[in-house]
Structure 1
């Protein structure tokens, strides 16, 4: 039986940046490779790498989102995510680099010296296959 990933005693760690990130749906295109940042591992940010597949309405935020495919598969290979959750891996765009650097500044010092995988507890997946940030969850959903 597989073990769940280790989590931090600090989880969920406050996410000071994602919800204020102003990234439009048009920032990403089908075929882009992206990462959804989820925490820290061995002094670096870590997350789930996915491929942008197609536009998809993001029900938890009532905004345009993207259908994402997790190439590694798993229990749920496809999810829908809001653009502000995503960071380009397939190209070095200034907006994503600024966000990535700000997330590093906010998190890496906090967890300096810890070698384990730390899941900050920001995301969940709804019954409808919607990736949702804990601060975007509406009551009753």
Structure 2
């Protein structure tokens, strides 16, 4: 996986896996390193690498979420995300490995031969620094 700073590029793409992923808030803990998968680069999945800081309410889904710190900084140094958007980097857990493999199986063949970074456009950040998957976005928010 190649961590890259996130720059939103709305390119409609279908992601049926993340919205249906069933991950509880307890799956992650403060201090763990995670990645939010965003697309493909050079035949590998890529995304934003972040550290979990503290529990937080994820307003767009009205569920428990996590406050994340992006070490690269920028306008969204801290964001709040729903647990189903996250994949462990700091430890190998079966759920995250299954999800990661499913994303690889779906995306890598689709973008085979693309050498440039492909941002699938699944996420946006609200004015309240809430990371939101397009399937979770509500009109007017």
Is the pair's TM-score, using the shorter chain for normalization, greater than 0.5? yes
Q: Which runs of 4+ in 1 moved over 4 A?
A: 4-8
Give the aligned partner of residue 3 of structure 2: none
TM-score scaled by structure 2? 0.93
Structure 1 segment 1-141 matched on structure 2, within 5 A = 11-141=11-141
CA contact (8 A) 2:8 2:124 kept: no
Structure 1, gaps ≥5 residues long: none
TM-score scaled by structure 1? 0.93
Who wins on radius of gyration, i.e. which is larger?
Answer: 1
Structure 2, gaps ≥5 residues long: 1-5
Q: CA RMSD in A?
A: 1.6
The number of equivalent residue pairs is 136
1:27-51 CA distance string (max 9 Å, x none)? 0000000000000000000000000
CA contact (8 A) 2:50 2:70 kept: yes
1:12 is paired with a residue whose SS is coil
Distance apart, 1:75 and its partner CA: 1.5
